[in-house]
Amino acid sequence: MKKILFISFFRHLNNKIDQKTDDITSRFYDNKITLSFLLIIFTVGLIISTSNIVIGTISIIMNNYSWLIIPGLIFSPLLFLYSANGVKNSCWRLTH
């Protein structure tokens, strides 16, 4: 009788451990998918902000700029830094 209780207890314990492992694994893959989308969004932000900075600088050098370019040049470096930090964090979380 003790042997049966002992075996059933360890089966129950093993099932609980398997269930927790499955939960952790599914959460891990959900996070990877979310981080992959964030990485794509931040990379697009990086490309847009870099192109804004380049186009704005060329326009100012050639003296054909409108006043709409100035706010873009002010906010593009901020978007660039935010996106670069997001890419760094997403890559770090994807690899750790």
pLDDT of residue 14: 63
Q: Is residue 71 part of a domain?
A: yes
pLDDT band at 2; cut points 50, 70, 90: low
Q: 73 lies in which domain range?
A: 29-95
Taking the C-alpha atoms of residue 96 and residue 86, their distance in angstroms, rounded to an integer, is 15
Q: Is residue 52 part of a domain?
A: yes
Q: Is residue 72 part of a domain?
A: yes
Q: Is residue 82 part of a domain?
A: yes
pLDDT at 35 exceeding the cut of 70: yes
pLDDT of residue 90: 74
Q: Is residue 16 part of a domain?
A: no
Q: Is residue 23 part of a domain?
A: no
Q: Is residue 39 part of a domain?
A: yes
pLDDT band at 28; cut points 50, 70, 90: low
pLDDT of residue 82: 80
* pTM (predicted TM-score): 0.51
Total domain count, the chain: 1
Q: Is residue 10 part of a domain?
A: no
3 state DSSP class of 88:
helix
Q: Give the number of residues written for the chain.
A: 96
> Tokens standing for 87?
């890419």
